[in-house]
């Protein structure tokens, strides 16, 4: 049966209907509709499985899922579009980007402690990424599993997202099939079996496991607040949370205060008898109940310790005088037991953490930034929260996942989309500009290797970075222009000494026509600024600053144009037409022909060749004309002059 389910799901994926973003959004909205319309049924199933209150069911299971769906619906188009990447000089004219693609059929194996959240959250990412998914809920949370099997086909595409229920035999049969990705949440022992089965088909896996998440309390923090937050995180869901604080590390001088503060908080949360509190959960099964009770052997119970097997109830328990080699410190507790291990300070706490496997989460309580930064720098964990517990899980923009034995891979928000997508690298190159490829073709020599090294190792900013640079430069220029325009009107007394008002305009060597137009206000400005400030007086210092600002914006365009036109044009006539038009435009912008001989050599060479069309060669190209939009080069390498704006 499991084989047929997988084959049907793969056929549905190959039909291509999940590639359309509209289909994915429709399925996500249908999933949200299911949780809204059947909220009471879901809460009742959780009550029967884990004695979760309606408040906890919505806070820990449904609200997070609704947030994930809303985020995916709003951002799906952004996530799925091509992502431009940084280029080198070798690929500067190419289209280089990352294209997310669906993987195929994903197997999602859920866990019993949060049977809706940890099962449907990967499904949201699978749907958003365009995959088909086979969902396998945990058989231990039988009421939730049965309800999920009933509801999901009513709201989602049954062929694309089937649900398989059952125990170990059904899971083993599913693992014999070939999937394109396996997403497993659970313990490390089963995680090894999942990874072993996936290796037979070279299937990538995401393993969200667990481990012993330490909680270090420094003596300088507010112990009342710290213990309240730790108590909430540890005993929520009866301690059956993969990122719950597994044990406390603190100095002996504050241990008694920590125990007392936890006692007060438990009284506040659950009353005198937690067994009668509607907010306190139960252990999932008799087997897990027996396992947790066995961990109490050889420990000193400072608080709690009572249990009732008939109700699978274990009271919130705090253990003291816990040795590092005791039984309770050898495995993840996954129950309402909280050991306290004393250390001499932050240095010993770091050493204690690093001597063990890397945890899924790390918690630090301290008012000292120095202590916090040291814990962050000298330890390793899947995630970390400072001065609180478990809250990093609620932030969709943060990746959630383990490291080492606590798991591999990550999810939440866009991270789930990326985890369940193939990020395909794409490069689209033109067949033109073949001359650039000569450096890689035989016969080879050291000069070609140097050229190849230069083009391959020189990186160019990506499009977003270029946009930021141009925005900054344009802002600087706009500010300078604003300052100039706010100056008093022009007066003949301030005429630029470089130009006599009676002096005629210089002769245009291209058109051979002389202008008798006298110097106008602002004509003394060199370069393209001359016509842009007619009617305004600008002092000499301001003129120099504004001219420098203009050239600052102009030079990147010059360099870009030189690069884009690095290969010779094939038509001398095109070059001549381009040269004539460019030089005429430069005169209209206010350049004096004699000024064209000044400035950096590469630009001067280009402009001098442009001013004398008879001397123009196929390599005499002015990138300024390209930047100003006066020329359009077609793929056939022809230049067409446009009328200036």
Contact 501, 519 (CB under 8 A): yes
- 8 Å CB contact between 85 and 97: yes
Give dist(CA 190, CA 408) in Å, integer: 14
Largest CA distance in the chain: 109
Alpha-carbon separation of residue 444 from 169, 441, 452, 566, 569 (angstroms): 62, 7, 11, 22, 26
Nearest by Cα to 160 from 323, 16, 346: 16
Residue 538 near residue 525 (C-beta atoms within 8 A): yes
Residue 199 makes CB contacts below 8 A (sequence gap 6+) with none
- 214 by DSSP, 3-state: which? strand
SS3 for 32-58 is HHHHHHCHHHHHHHHHHHHCCCHHHHH
Cα(622)–Cα(575) distance, integer angstroms? 10
Check if 37 is active-site. no
Of the residues 2, 208, 261, 523, which is catalytic? 208
Question: Other C-beta atoms within 10 Å of 347: how many?
Answer: 11
- The span from the CA of 396 to the CA of 97, in Å, is 25
What secondary structure letter does DSSP report for 489? Answer: B
Q: Which helix (H) or strand (E) holds 247?
A: strand 247-250
State the Rg of the chain over Cα.
35
Query: What amino acid positions are annotated as catalytic residues?
Result: 208
């Amino acid at each position: 049966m499991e084989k047929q389910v997988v084959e049907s799901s793969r056929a549905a994926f190959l039909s291509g209907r999940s590639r359309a973003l509209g289909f994915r959004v429709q399925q996500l909205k249908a999933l949200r509709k299911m949780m809204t319309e059947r909220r009471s049924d879901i809460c009742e199933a959780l009550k029967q499985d884990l004695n979760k209150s309606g408040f906890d069911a919505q806070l820990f299971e449904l609200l997070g899922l609704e947030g994930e769906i809303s985020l995916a619906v709003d951002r799906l188009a952004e996530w799925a579009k091509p992502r431009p990447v940084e280029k080198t000089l070798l690929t500067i004219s190419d289209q280089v980007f990352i294209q997310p693609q669906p993987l195929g059929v994903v197997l999602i194996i859920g866990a019993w402690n949060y049977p809706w959240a940890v099962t449907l959250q990967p499904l949201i990412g699978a749907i958003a990424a365009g995959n088909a998914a086979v969902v396998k809920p945990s058989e231990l949370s039988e009421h939730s599993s049965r309800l999920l099997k009933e509801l999901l086909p009513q709201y989602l595409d049954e062929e694309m997202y089937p649900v398989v229920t059952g125990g170990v035999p059904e899971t083993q049969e599913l693992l014999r099939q070939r999937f394109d990705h396996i997403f497993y949440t659970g313990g490390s022992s089963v995680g090894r079996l999942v990874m072993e089965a996936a290796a037979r088909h070279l299937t990538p896996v995401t393993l969200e496991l667990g481990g012993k998440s330490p909680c270090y309390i420094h003596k300088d923090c507010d112990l009342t607040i710290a213990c309240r937050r730790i108590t909430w995180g540890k005993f929520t869901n009866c301690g059956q949370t993969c990122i719950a604080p597994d044990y406390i590390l603190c100095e002996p001088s504050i241990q008694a205060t920590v125990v007392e503060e936890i006692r007060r908080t438990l009284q506040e949360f659950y009353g005198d008898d937690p067994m009668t509190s509607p907010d306190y959960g139960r252990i999932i099964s008799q087997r897990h109940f027996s396992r947790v009770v066995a961990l109490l052997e050889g420990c000193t119970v400072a608080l709690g310790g009572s249990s009732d097997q008939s109700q699978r109830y274990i009271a919130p328990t705090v253990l003291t005088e816990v040795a590092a080699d005791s039984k309770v410190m050898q495995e993840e507790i996954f129950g309402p037991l909280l050991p306290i291990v004393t250390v001499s300070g932050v240095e010993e706490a770091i050493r204690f953490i690093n001597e063990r496997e890397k945890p899924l989460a790390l918690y630090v309580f301290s008012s000292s930034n120095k202590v916090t930064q040291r814990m962050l720098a000298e330890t390793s964990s899947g995630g970390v929260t400072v001065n609180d517990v478990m809250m990093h899980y609620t932030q969709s923009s943060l990746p959630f996942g383990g490291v080492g034995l606590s798991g591999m891979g990550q999810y939440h928000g866009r991270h789930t989309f990326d985890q369940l997508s193939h990020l395909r690298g794409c490069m689209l190159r033109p067949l033109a500009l073949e001359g650039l490829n000569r450096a890689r073709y035989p016969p080879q020599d050291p000069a070609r290797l140097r050229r190849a090294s230069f083009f391959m190792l020189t990186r160019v900013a990506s499009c977003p970075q270029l946009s930021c640079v141009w925005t900054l430069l344009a802002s600087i220029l706009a500010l300078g222009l604003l300052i100039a325009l706010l100056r008093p009107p022009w007066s003949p007394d301030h005429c630029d000494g470089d130009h006599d008002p009676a002096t005629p305009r210089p002769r245009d060597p291209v058109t051979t026509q002389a202008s008798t137009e006298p110097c106008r206000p602002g004509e003394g400005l060199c370069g393209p600024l001359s016509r842009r400030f007619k009617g305004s007086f600008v002092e000499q210092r301001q003129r120099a600053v504004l001219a420098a600002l203009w050239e600052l914006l102009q030079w990147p365009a010059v360099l870009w144009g030189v690069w884009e036109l690095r290969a010779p044009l094939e038509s001398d006539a095109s070059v001549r037409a381009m040269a004539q038009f460019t030089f005429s435009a430069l005169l209209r912008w206010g350049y004096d022909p004699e000024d064209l001989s000044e400035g950096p050599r590469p630009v001067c060479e280009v402009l001098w060749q442009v001013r004398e069309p008879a001397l123009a060669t196929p390599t005499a190209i002015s990138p300024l004309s390209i930047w100003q939009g006066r020329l359009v080069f077609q793929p056939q390498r022809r230049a067409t002059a446009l009328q200036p704006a």
